[in-house]
Amino acid sequence: MTDNTLDFDDLRPPGAYITAEHDKWRQRVRKFVNEHIAPHIDTWEQSGNIPDAVFVAAADANIYGSGFPAELGGNGGNLDIYERIIFAEELHRLGSGIVFAELATHWIGLPPVIDLGSDTLREQVGQAVLAGKKRIAFAVTEPSGGSDVSRLKTTARKTDELWKVNGCKTLVSGGLRADYILTAVRTGDEGIRGISLLLIDGKSAGVRRTVVDGLSWYSGAIATIEFDDVEVPEDRLIGVENSGFTGLTKQFNVERFSGIASALALSRVCLSEALKFSRERTTFGQRLIDHQVIRHKLVDMIRTVRGTYSYLDHCVWRFNNGDMPVADLCMLKIQATEILEKCAREALHITGGSAYTGVSRLERIFRESRIFALGGGTEEILKDLASRQLRF
């Protein structure tokens, strides 16, 4: 391999547990991205809106139902984490998280409904979402608490056969246009033992949704959602009352695989852009890549990206063998987001002023990179969680 062939695909080292079926899955997802997303991504970036037809197209392309039961419209079989990882890689290959943030929201919002909800909810909600005809969002974060989920303040009080919900959620991916909002609410005492999950109809009276401005993510569906005496039927309780925290942590752990893969994919985009520019740009009588200091920067980035992929592959192996490597996922998520920020910074440094033309993927990735260190648990939260798992 020479520097003339090193590109996005080459920068992902071969995985010992990636099979021919995974390669077929990658080609299926890439075909969908090339046909349905790539031609429109710039327009969607500007409008902050992804058309409803994209969700139906994803379902029709058989890439939307990974890990969900076949009788509900999913792909069937057990959850294959590599399918989620590859999906994240291919969506972020364009250098933008806007489409992934919406197309993958059902991965965290729908499983509790299918695993813990009534048969009626399981069929009605599951089938509609997996067909791409309805959207679901997961509302957890609050303006007052951020990553401190155990202290959430949104309440649900039981009256007759209804729950009445009051409070506010923010930074809800896909929340502005979600038909269903899986919401973490306080139904009991303070702390983790008083949290429940309710599935709220987005059209319910008392639900007020506004777009979150200023994220620089250009997704018009990231919402703040206010609940004012919202009435929720009794059977919309998902799981056991006051035991919702367990469901939250399970979803967060699975979600971290996708977050890690997204950060590493964007790091590869930065690297491939920097490599391409370095081969083409001439300075002081030679190509930029022929300067030793530039080569060293590139090697440092490649070294950290490839090493982190090995760590990720090891965590996938443990997950597939029935283990949930919580501490390692926490540390790996921190490592992957640190690498993304480093690669974005160094790639901008290598490409110089050309990255600030308004049409560069690097400019967008650099602007968006910090959100990956915040979403899914901040570095401080994850380090603390890792230390408890390691029994410090």
CATH code, 39: 1.10.540.10
User: Do 377 and 291 belong to one domain?
Assistant: yes
pLDDT in tens, 101-141: 889 999 999 999 999 999 999 999 999 999 999 999 999 99
Residue 154 clears pLDDT 60, i.e. is over it: yes
Q: Look at residues 44, 41, 95 and name the one whose alpha carbon lies nearest to residue 221.
A: 44
User: Which domain, by its residues, includes 233?
Assistant: 136-242
Residue 2 clears pLDDT 50, i.e. is over it: no
What is residue 322's three-state secondary structure?
A: coil
Q: Look at residues 54, 56, 63, 81 and name the one whose alpha carbon lies nearest to residue 26.
A: 63
Please state, in angstroms and rounded to a whole number, the distance separating the CA atoms of residues 177 and 48. 12
State pTM to two decimals: 0.92
Please indicate, yes or no, if residue 53 is contained in any of the structural domains.
yes
Picking from 190, 221, 242, the residue at the C-terminal end of a domain is 242
Residue 136 is predicted with a pLDDT of 97
Please state, in angstroms and rounded to a whole number, the distance separating the CA atoms of residues 334 and 336. 6
Residue 4 is predicted with a pLDDT of 54
Number of domains in the chain: 3
Residue 147 is predicted with a pLDDT of 66
User: Do 144 and 124 belong to one domain?
Assistant: no
Picking from 103, 130, 157, the residue at the C-terminal end of a domain is 130
Burial state string for 61-98 with b = 16 or more CB within 10 A and e = fewer than 16: bebbbbbbeeebbbbeeebbbbbbbbbbbbbbbbbbbb
pLDDT in tens, 205-229: 999 999 887 655 556 678 999 999 9
Question: Any idea what the CATH number is for the domain that residue 326 is in?
Answer: 1.20.140.10
Residue 385 is predicted with a pLDDT of 92
| Percent above pLDDT 90 for the chain | 71
User: Do 256 and 226 belong to one domain?
Assistant: no
User: Do 28 and 83 belong to one domain?
Assistant: yes
Residue 367 clears pLDDT 70, i.e. is over it: yes
Please indicate, yes or no, if residue 120 is contained in any of the structural domains.
yes
